[in-house]
Amino acid sequence: MTGTTPGTTHAATHAATPGTTHGTTHGTTHAATHTATHAATRTTLGPCEDPVTTEDLTPQQAGKLAREVLAEIERAVVGKPEALELVMLGVLAGGHVLIEDLPGLGKTLLARSFATTLGLEFRRIQFTPDLLPSDVSGAPFYDQRSGEMVFRPGPVFTNLLLADEINRTPPKTQAALLEAMAEAQVSIDGTTRRLPDPFTVIATANPIEYDGTYALPEAQLDRFLLRVRMGYLDAESEALMLRARIDRAAPEAVLRPLADPAAVLAMRAAVERVEVADDLVRYVMDLIGATRSHPQIQVGASPRGGLALVQLGRARAMLDDRDYLTPEDVKAVAVPALAHRVSLKPELWVRQVSADEVLTALVAEVPTPQTLPGVPLGQGSTAAAVPAS
């Protein structure tokens, strides 16, 4: 199910712009989209919706569009609704996604399908041991016609970048990408250049064949908003995937673009309108604190982990057609958001205990607040916390 492009060199990219990109502005920050001018572009929520100003999307409208996007992608990526939802949450929350799993499970197809359906410009980098930082960010070259040095942008100047097998390139090249992820900009020859907005990285890592690989340090893993594992299809889903391939007589399903960059920014702005009660803020802090005091965890989650929990939980609430956060939203994203941010004690590696297992048990132990739905921001529920079920 992977969608790799034959003949791709280590500096080449796979680019496609499935939809128009009206409303995109280089250098526009995520915060600026929340206070856009009245001249904002207009986008269409779906195939049958009336145009709505992108800055005015409610969480319900944005959630409806996100669900339509997921339904369209499921025509190409079969049998993985949980993984697709997590990636969508990462896109809505404005973060970057690490997909860690075995080869051949559809990681590249997943990334390309999101780019097509969201109407985003897409580039792919196949990371190799000889890849240079300039192959990612771009480099100046001498223009003989003008007699001047001209900057040639690298594949990182796009909306959705697939960093394929990021653990196969040296740390220096990894750092070039991670700067772009953290700052949404690249610095070359003393000049800082902003990346397109939105900018999202979906990176893949192969958990087997460690020879010739460069594992991402924990400090760099922390820059990914969440980690997703796809896993094998069950027998029924795999049979449906094979039958669909036979019936369409083509390698991949043709997906429709249902959004554009302006719509993605509008959906991200709608996430900021999802309310969070005070007791849920305390619940997030309890989860983060528990990772720092857990007897099996050597290094707990950073404050960035708490931010990830809140934003991913708000995105999940919006996807569930709500404009308020609940404890279930936080619990549902806790393991994908935190498991790659903690370091287990060495003896657990010998016993083959994973961070996912430790985090799952930890979430079950932390008391869950009884939050009243729709409590306005700053008016947290007074109900006592109850043990997690």
CATH number, position 78: 3.40.50.300
Q: Note if the bond before 303 is cis, omega within 30 degrees.
A: no
This prediction's pTM: 0.80
If we measure between CA atoms, which residue out of 114, 120, 116 comes closest to residue 83?
114
* Domain boundaries, position 158: 30-267
Q: Would you give the DSSP letter of residue 274?
A: S
Asked whether residue 371 is domain-assigned, the answer is: no
Phi then psi dihedrals of residue 151, to 5 deg: -80, 130
Q: Which of 267, 288, 306 is the last residue of a domain?
A: 267
Q: Indicate if 320 and 351 belong to the same structural domain.
A: yes
338/246 same-domain check: no
CA angle 281, 287, 293 (to 5 degrees): 135
Domain contains 386: no
Q: Which of 104, 112, 123, 126 is nearest to 7 (CA)?
A: 126
**Does residue 138 register a pLDDT over 50?**
yes
Same domain, 172 and 51: yes
Same domain, 233 and 296: no
Task: Report the C-alpha dihedral over residues 108, 109, 114, 115, rounded to 10 degrees.
Answer: 70
Work out the number of other CB atoms within 10 angstroms of the CB of residue 70: 18
Both 200 and 309 in a single domain?
no
Span between the terminal Cα atoms of the chain, in Å: 37
Q: Is the pLDDT of residue 52 over 50?
A: no
- The string of DSSP letters for 87-147 reads HHHHHHTT--EEEE--TTSSHHHHHHHHHHHHT--EEEEE--TT--HHHHHEEEEEETTTT
Q: What total number of domains does the chain contain?
A: 2
139-151 pLDDT tens trace: 888 888 888 888 8
pLDDT at 44 over 50: no
Say which range, 101-105, 216-220, 257-261, has the weakest mean pLDDT.
Answer: 216-220
Judgement on whether residues 126 and 254 belong to the same structural domain of the protein? yes
Please report, for the domain that includes residue 295, its CATH number: 1.10.8.80
How much is the pLDDT for 8? 39
Together in a domain, 191 and 63: yes
> Percent of the chain beyond pLDDT 70?
80
Backbone φ and ψ of 16, nearest 5°:
-155, 140
On whether both 259 and 324 belong to a single domain, the answer is no
For residue 367, the model assigns a pLDDT of 94
Residue 339 scores a pLDDT above 90: yes
Distance CA(111)–CA(73), nearest Å, equals 10
Residues 335 and 198 placed together within one structural domain of the fold = no
Give domain status of residue 256, yes or no.
yes
Cα torsion angle, 364, 370, 376, 377, sign = negative
The answer to whether residue 376 sits within a structural domain is: no
The answer as to whether 58 is a domain residue is yes
Choice between 143 and 328, residue whose per-residue pLDDT is larger: 328
User: Burial code of 338-376, b = ≥16 C-beta within 10 A, e = fewer?
Assistant: bbbbbebeeebeeeeeebeebbeebbeebebbebeeebe
